[in-house]
Structure 1
Amino acid sequence: MDRKLPRGVTVRGNSLQLSFSYQGQRFRESLRMPDTKPNIKAAELKLAAIQHDIAMGKFDYGLHFPRSKHAMRLSQSLQQSVTIDQILNDWLRRVKERTAYSTLRDYSSAVTYHLIPQFGTLKVMELKSSQVEEWLSSLDISGKRKRNILIPLRQAFEDAVFDGLIEQNPMLRVRNPKHERSEPRPFNQDEVDRILSVLAGVERNLICFAFETGLRTSELIALMWKDVDLESKQIHVRRACVRGHIKETKTSSGWRSVPLSPSAYESLISQQFQRYNHDSFVFYDPKSMKRWGGDQIIRKRVWKKAIQASGVKYRNPYQTRHTYASRLLSQGENPLKVAYQMGHKDWGMIRSVYGRWVK
């Protein structure tokens, strides 16, 4: 038998629902209660209490409907209780599905080891831009790393403004730290020869190929035999290995073809003779007989030992890339062509980083 319901109380599905106006907008909220006679009376009383609070100017949406999608936006008590660790963790969950594995790992590291320990217990409304800048100035890390750490905090606060938690975003006044680019320190030919002279087999092939192609270590690790065209003496760079995961290169400009110098060609021929188990990857770890797991293991087990044995002043493995670029430019190669072979979208990076080698 149909019951006559009080004004503002309706039934939706198997539950009672309240309808009321607040701040010039109509809202409907489910009570998650079946439409029994006692529940209908309780719903009528609750609606009367809501209307009284609205009339008195003391209605708090979150207290009446804490699970509502409108609660956070319209509840001052909830807004004041939200902490920074909550919005950071919520932001991480939201970006998980649309973010590359390596990027998400960096975000998680920034949140877990930097942002939450420093700001996590603060209420969202308490954060001041001066607090962030003072903290940044105390960190003994590069400007680039500082900017990366700030990304989750900036985006979480943007969402907080959008959700109505705060009216003003304190992160808008936090200036990005300057990134001081390290000066290239390429190896000369004598140094290259000395380094290669203390290496042998697959390790020599790897390092020689790095000097002769300018590939990033992550690209060297991910190079597959299907990317190699020995007949036309070129390779096609299509993917990289980041944090142990194979993925496509970071930008569309990363897709490129690189011609093989005689030394690079000889390294591939040598590597082909030492091909193990017909593995699809060109370079492999002779210890595990599998694809290299990452750039750190190469740096520690191959690069550092070779530099020490050769007597050459230590520089990091990325200088093989600088060596390749500076050599081509010194020989008068077109900067646009060098930019393409390095995987840059234009020659702006070549001009700013390698300007003194451009003829």
Structure 2
Amino acid sequence: MNYNVTIVKKPGSNRLYTSYQFNGKPVVRSTGLPDTSVNRAHINKFIIPKYIAALVEGRDPTAVARKLSYYLDKVLENSKNRGKSYSTQATYASGAKKALELLGDRPINTYKTCEIEKMIDSMVSKRKNSQKTISTYLAPLSLAFDEAIKNEEVGVDRNPVTLATRPKREKEEKMKPFTLAEVMNMIHAAPGEFKKFLILAFFTGIRHGEVLGIQRGDLDIENNIISINKQFNITYSQENAKLKTHKNKSQYDSKVPSIIWGLLGELPTVPNANVIDRTNMKKAKRDWIREEWGKALFEAGIKAEGRTPYVTRHTFVSIALSTKVNPLLVTNNTGHTDLKMIEKAYGTLDLQKEDFEDLSDMIQKQISAQDAGKLAS
């Protein structure tokens, strides 16, 4: 049998094709690659040997391949087996669903780089997604092609996602933090459980999922410490208490200003009781946070100016650093392993000039006893 596979070109096309015989019939398939010396060398070295191996086994090299959905499922399975966080698994699942919606489900060796670029253009123009959001959606798709390459899927020799041209990343404007007066007004305007949420978010700098995951047993009131060891996934209604707080630390202690205990009001007595009661939160917690955030802004008479609930962390860091709280303390409270992220957002830090070691000193020097009394009422 003839196992000869050669490179050919079609008239009027700049793409390279492969020519071979299968079941006695001539077959010509596009590689999707432009005619360059580098691509010809790549086809000779990597693609043709795979085609010949498939022909020896009696398979048409380019006609049989597993579908995109098969490899996306592999990516989701791997993310679970390798201990990826619940939020990462959810993000991958969302990205996989989006890829199938926009690209369709075909044999994985039929997708071209131009299709990926068209998908990206669609997301940019019609959906107005940021580059960060687009990269999030593309992550599981790129991993799916990596899986196909690792599995030596015939016809998949390069990852079209990594080859695709993406829009130039626009410089992101830094989110404007709240002033301490605005923080006080927001907290004073917020009702019930959302008031507790804002107190913990603004005065500790910890992540929103971590705030919702705090239980009474995590509070060390005598030493002004909150142990962060789990979080509530704010995207979904269900809870995963075993979720790690972030990639590098599964648990850390957040040193908090003593003033917050009086502001939080009555706390539960049972160790595993949630500090913020989620009983009546029927919707996804992110939706609950956004909805209550809008109400609090309105009641406080504060313009959002593009500031989302995430600004609580930004505000904490901004107020702390502007009032000379030690950056190492700020870094620990926000769950980072080093100063890199703080420096990236706020510039070079001078550790020698930071003289406040206690967050309580910083907060209490700026909040009058009268204001604190209003908040607690």
Fold match by TM threshold 0.5: yes
Alignment check: 8 A CA contact 1:147 1:176 kept: no
> 1:345 maps to what in 2?
337
Q: Is the CA contact (8 Å cut-off) linking 1:335 and 1:347 kept in structure 2?
A: yes
1:154 to 142, 148, 152: 142
Which structure: greater helix fraction? 1
The 5-angstrom pairing of residues 184-195 of structure 1 reads 184-195=175-186
Q: Deviations over 1:254-299 (max 9, x none)?
A: 632222213312134x131xx38776211114x62x8996232132
Does residue 77 of structure 1 match 2:65?
no
Kindly tell me: are residues 168 and 293 of structure 1, through their superposed partners in 2, closer, same or farther at Cα, counting changes over 3 Å? Answer: closer
Offset, 1:141: 0.7
Considering only CA atoms, is the larger Rg found in Structure 1 or Structure 2? 1
The alignment partner of 1:345 has SS state of coil
Q: Find the counterpart in structure 1 of residue 273 from structure 2.
A: 280
Q: Tell me the TM-score normalised to structure 2 length.
A: 0.66
Q: For residues 355 and 191 of structure 1, what CA distance do their matches in structure 2 show?
A: 24
Change (3 A) 1:350 1:127: same
Distance 2:252 2:300 in 1: 33
Q: What amino acid does structure 2 have at the position aligned with 1:326?
A: S
Distance 1:162 1:251 in 2: 26
Q: CA deviation at 1:313?
A: 1.2
Amino acid at match of 1:149: Y
Asked if the contact 2:193–2:277 (Cα under 8 Å) also holds between the matched residues in 1, the reply is yes
What is the CA distance between 1:74 and its match in structure 2?
Answer: 5.3
Q: CA RMSD in A?
A: 3.3
The TM-score normalised by the length of structure 1 is 0.70
Residue equivalent to 1:334:
326
Q: Is the contact between residue 271 and residue 283 of structure 1 (CA under 8 Å) also seen in structure 2?
A: no
Cα distance, 1:202–1:122 mapped onto 2, change above 3 Å: closer
Q: CA deviation at 1:116?
A: 1.2
Is 1:111–1:152's contact at 8 Å kept on the other side of the alignment? yes
Alignment map for 1:90-105 (pairs within 5 Å): 90-98=74-82, 99-105=84-90
Q: Measure how far apart 1:84 and its partner are.
A: 2.6
1:224 to 194, 215, 226: 215
Q: Which runs of 5+ in 1 are unaligned?
A: 1-22, 24-55, 60-69
Q: 1:230·1:265 contact (CA, 8 Å) conserved in 2?
A: yes
Q: Label 1:116 to 1:295 Cα distance change in 2 as closer, same or farther (>3 A).
A: closer
Distance 1:93 1:73 in 2: 32
Match in the other structure for 2:35: none
Residue 329 of structure 1 and its aligned partner are, at CA, apart by 0.5
Instruction: Find the residue that maps to 2:60 and give its secondary structure.
Output: helix
Q: CA–CA distance in 1 between the matches of 2:129 and 2:250?
A: 28
Q: Which residue of 1 aligns with 2:299?
A: 309
* Selected match of 2:116 from 132, 139, 160: 132
Letter in 2 for 1:81: V
Aligned to 1:355: 347
Pick from 257, 260, 263 the counterpart of residue 261 of structure 1: 257
**1:214 Cα deviation after fit:** 0.8
**What amino acid is aligned across from residue 163 of structure 2 in structure 1?**
R
Distance 1:303 1:106 in 2: 24
Q: Following the alignment from structure 1 to structure 2, what is the Cα–Cα distance between the partners of residues 281 and 291? A: 16
> Contact 2:331/2:339 (CA < 8 Å) preserved in 1?
yes
Q: Distance in 1 between matches of 2:78 and 2:23?
A: 33
Aligned to 2:204: 213
CA distance in 2, matches of 1:346, 1:179: 26
Give secondary structure in 2 for the equivalent of 1:258.
strand
Q: Counterparts of 1:115 and 1:73 in 2: how far apart (Å)?
A: 34
Q: Which residue of 2 aligns with 1:171?
A: 161
The AA in structure 2 aligned to 1:130 is C
Question: How do residues 109-148 of structure 1 correspond to structure 2 at under 5 angstroms?
Answer: 109-112=94-97, 114-139=98-123, 140-148=128-136
Change (3 A) 1:282 1:179: farther
Q: Equivalents in 1 of 2:321, 2:56: separation in Å? A: 57
2:91 maps to which residue?
106
Give CA-to-partner distance per residue, 1:176-225, whole Å, 9 cap, x none. 66475451311112211221222344432321222111111111000111
> Alignment length, in residue pairs?
288
